[in-house]
Structure 1
């Protein structure tokens, strides 16, 4: 019998992950995020609606095929006059008709509505690996808790099957949702970008007041839950000793964490922006040096609670 839980908008399910929770894990990426981080490596996870991905290099050309143009009733796809096509993002409604007829997968719809049972059917395929490695299911995004009802239903169902559960969150969600998620998760991976409110808003488009409030409440009400804090180190934004010291001090003051990890910026997500018709603002940015990361990790370690 299919679950009556609401369907969730999923843009990727990644198997055999080793970096987002203990053991071998399956990561379910839920679409939609209230933040707009300028370094975001999953821009396809920001919108709360299905989006068209356009891979120009895969297109076989309108001299050979124009099925997508014919399939688009909204006239969002047109020939560019050079053998390719152009997607009018303002006209595109994300129906996916063009992607269904594209023979080379140059067009693909990012975001699929799935039920809890449909997702768990995929997750369960690797239960033997979870048992041997201590792994399980991790919800990521986007911001998974922005799809609160679905995320909670998925966590609850996974728990009922004995699957280890983890959540990767920005912390920006209703406290009611965070509280229930904390009661259903074996681990929470909590992103803290920076403490300075003005700097946070410039870099992510939103205030961090609710994020910090939720972290405090999480540590106060759920001190037994394993919480790993992560900070992506973005040169010129939060890569100073003061930035990392402030985050580490906040963690300690708020009740601590089982670990505080600083992760170097990378530009691996940049190619995705062009495929979504978006501009990547940090194309000039180089990753922080190994020396710089060592210095910042030393600061993080200095403040890291020993438990």
Structure 2
């Protein structure tokens, strides 16, 4: 039996209980920080950097000045809105600790494997009764590959079903070491077009597509496609996706995920611009056409998931 390093630390930014998506049954989703991609539509921008970040909700701020006194490096000042100098902010969390209105929130904290497992055990009975389990998400969990591996090992030691939401962007050693402990892979394939993929995500898709082939030999896989206007939502885009999918093993389904702007407000809280502001979601009938194209290729398809 594998030994497990329960004292290993990782950076977690959320633990979401009672999820009925992201794998079978009732699940708990552990969100890890860090991602090598910088997708323009990312709905969790607070996850992209592996270090903690401060989110500032100006509407809640009462300009009490407690955060200014708490910040030892002078990264905070107050005008009519309030200002964080993110160039020097270390996200130590002292400002959020003293904020009386939670207008300052620290996203990301160190947790050990033991601490995470303690949280996950709160719903162990639900995993057993529903056939559920644990899903690692992010960010990209493989950025913290050692922590992800140990957490999956600890979950398997509890007898829990394991799943991962991943871009597949990692080196081959990580794939071989981590994925034997994963029962279900929910893998984003954003585009098979190299140049478009680089333009919209900041990285080439070569590593991702190569890893998808290897991962499909190790674990059961669901392909997830965030449908982004003017990027990957044409009929030709979907046909190319189907051609690639047919080269893989153990593919259960393709999930089409309609574009949404649920995370847009987070960019403001991080002092960033949302660059997809003028994009629109596909209409229901447009998505149904893409779904039928996939099904006509002999591949099961679900909208959402």
After TM superposition, the score normalised by the length of structure 1 is 0.94
Three-state SS of the structure 2 residue aligned to 1:52 is strand
- In the alignment, the residues of structure 1 paired with residue 250 and residue 155 of structure 2 have an alpha-carbon distance, to the nearest angstrom, of 27
- TM-superposed CA distance for 1:3, in Å, is 4.5
Structure 1 residue aligned with 2:229: 235
Trace 1:79-158 onto structure 2 (pairs within 5 A).
79-80=78-79, 82=80, 84-158=81-155
Moved more, 152-161 or 179-188: 179-188
- In the alignment, the residues of structure 1 paired with residue 28 and residue 262 of structure 2 have an alpha-carbon distance, to the nearest angstrom, of 20
Trace 1:1-307 onto structure 2 (pairs within 5 A).
3-61=5-63, 65-80=64-79, 82=80, 84-219=81-216, 221-222=217-218, 225-255=219-249, 257-305=251-299
- TM-superposed CA distance for 1:88, in Å, is 0.9
Q: Which 5+ residue runs of structure 1 have no aligned equivalent?
A: none
- In the alignment, the residues of structure 2 paired with residue 182 and residue 248 of structure 1 have an alpha-carbon distance, to the nearest angstrom, of 24
- In the alignment, the residues of structure 1 paired with residue 34 and residue 245 of structure 2 have an alpha-carbon distance, to the nearest angstrom, of 27
Asked if the contact 1:167/1:185 (under 8 Å) is kept, the reply is yes
1:273-302 CA-to-partner distances (Å, cap 9, x unmatched) read 000111100111221100111011111222
- TM-superposed CA distance for 1:305, in Å, is 4.2
- TM-superposed CA distance for 1:4, in Å, is 4.4
Moved more, 4-13 or 272-281: 4-13
Asked if the contact 1:166/1:185 (under 8 Å) is kept, the reply is yes
- TM-superposed CA distance for 1:91, in Å, is 1.4
After TM superposition, the score normalised by the length of structure 2 is 0.94
Three-state SS of the structure 2 residue aligned to 1:258 is strand
Asked if the contact 1:186/1:226 (under 8 Å) is kept, the reply is yes
Three-state SS of the structure 1 residue aligned to 2:169 is coil
- In the alignment, the residues of structure 1 paired with residue 261 and residue 287 of structure 2 have an alpha-carbon distance, to the nearest angstrom, of 16
Flag as ranges the 4+ runs of structure 1 deviating above 4 A. 2-5
- In the alignment, the residues of structure 2 paired with residue 155 and residue 20 of structure 1 have an alpha-carbon distance, to the nearest angstrom, of 16
Q: Which 5+ residue runs of structure 2 have no aligned equivalent?
A: 301-305
Count of aligned pairs = 297
- In the alignment, the residues of structure 2 paired with residue 162 and residue 290 of structure 1 have an alpha-carbon distance, to the nearest angstrom, of 39
1:217-258 CA-to-partner distances (Å, cap 9, x unmatched) read 222x42xx2100000000111110111111111010233511
1:257-279 CA-to-partner distances (Å, cap 9, x unmatched) read 11111110000000000001111
Three-state SS of the structure 2 residue aligned to 1:28 is strand
Asked if the contact 1:260/1:301 (under 8 Å) is kept, the reply is no
- In the alignment, the residues of structure 2 paired with residue 303 and residue 184 of structure 1 have an alpha-carbon distance, to the nearest angstrom, of 31
Asked if the contact 2:5/2:150 (under 8 Å) is kept, the reply is no
RMSD: 1.3
